[in-house]
Structure 1
């Protein structure tokens, strides 16, 4: 199936799109820095005087042209291509399932080959099309160790961190599937235009806590924002953390992307329950790190994510506490209607209460958009991601589908 094939929206129906691929033990050039790529080529016999030129060629083919086969590299000699095929790979992960929501949201279940003595692992990646832009939600870990009580992903144990290759491969595969790379037959040097990209924004808001996988996330995001490759503006890359305070400082200094905080409570006692990492890094430490984040301004604000839980954190007293907590921080507050998942004891706040909460925050001078739930029917919405190996049993899936139809209707 090509990147331009049309897929009919489907409610909770898995859509297999590829056969299992042969697992390759070869190292991937995807996710290597230029220095690492040069060292790898030198080790395989490429002459010193050719290293810089060869790295530049490969960088262009992988990240500008988006090829996944060395044979497509038209300006690389046959001998060089044979060497690359023998020792390296640039293959994409296997697509186990592709699902398309009624609202156009796409979710891919991806399988990566084993690392060392490990087993193949699976993660979910979500694409959200919006007017004027498209946002890709990328995972950084298989599972999660944070056990946030309202989050479906948090009920899956942490298996391992993803590598820089695996993080970047989610972006490359999405651009493949969406037809977002230049025509493979276009003249050498063709660049994807800055406007009109289907994937214009990426958010590190998928499975896992990105700052517990700092080095791989850093490498992947610096490559994604490299001006000679994928060339995404750092202002279009957002990293979301539940509050790993020491690494927030490092993120500002070493990566420089936009920051989002998974907040959800304005009191330590409540946040300790909802977001247990708060016991290690309480609100005062978290807010101090936010105030120190480099480059903050009205045009470069921190986004605070706040899931609306009925009777838990949605009172006007909570809204007042939120304003007080964020005082002096250039901020936007994303109010997220709670997305249900099988087995949860939480309920979404009533819509009227969410609007009252938003109106109060807006009147205090903060932008507080209510995030439109996207991809709920395929469990692709915020807090719903979970890889296939830990997915709900069939009975739970049927019960969830019945609940969604009852709450939202067939349309």
Structure 2
């Protein structure tokens, strides 16, 4: 991948150099401001700590194993040399600091808000992702953490009846939120694929496939790929959910363009986890349908380059800000579809969106990617303030060059073996 004048290796180094500033001496990773300093007004959270731990685990593999040859990161560059120590730093925080030692599970954050001690599938999925990846990277403590978090998934979050993850519970697991959400379950697919890779247990692949079937094969396909994200307790769609707060960071109103791309990539990665010829055919069909829809209703639809954040149910833009993670997921989906199909159109899209990211999203003065641009592609704090983590940007940079595989870890390994 080439982002303007930056090679994959160079830009990966830059992202990781920026990210290492999030490590806190008191444990975990903090929320980064635009200048790369920790915003001390934001409580240490499970989400940011887990995402950064995942990134550092990937970086530790790039730095110290044969897989690193794939992107030429074996040299000790800024942000790479200490990746293994930072991954262990994150695993330690997820194993202690952010654990609810009284009730079990992982808190939302260490703040004093009433819901800070709630247990949420979204955050738990990222703990699974971090622990699974760190385990494969041989980070101390990761295997034990993975056993514990998968037990929590099995005990508290998995619904065998519905083939989905329960959204959230209160602190002591006595009150369940009467809501089913696509976002948490999408990251559940990502997490369970990682767990399958780390453990070899086919249960997690089967669970990931069921979640994808529940939300995409059964529901998104029936709605012409306009994925509904929000459902009541009885699975009645909630099309007006958050209509008064359409730019919510995690549960926005309408169709979320970036999630269509993210699901598209994940479905193809899910297919890659099966033995040759054994993957359900609908995985690729759905991936192509979601991608085509996201491209058609999301890209440059309001007079300027970039993807809008959300559209309504007839495809009209609602939140016109351009979020960095949406472009990152478009890059990942295009690269993966090109790897699977060989179709030139996906490569054209990939290069176009990489070029867009280079022109508008790279902050060449302070580092990392701007997290939000306005409708004219100018940096803004309208939806996301600062640059909390490098999870999406790092994946976009690496996925642009990788063959398909069940996880980013696997895709790096596959490339290394093929060279």
TM-score bin, normalised by smaller chain:
under 0.3
Q: TM-score, normalised by structure 2?
A: 0.26
Point out the structure with max Rg over C-alpha. 1
Q: TM-score, normalised by structure 1?
A: 0.27
Q: Which structure is higher in helix share?
A: 2
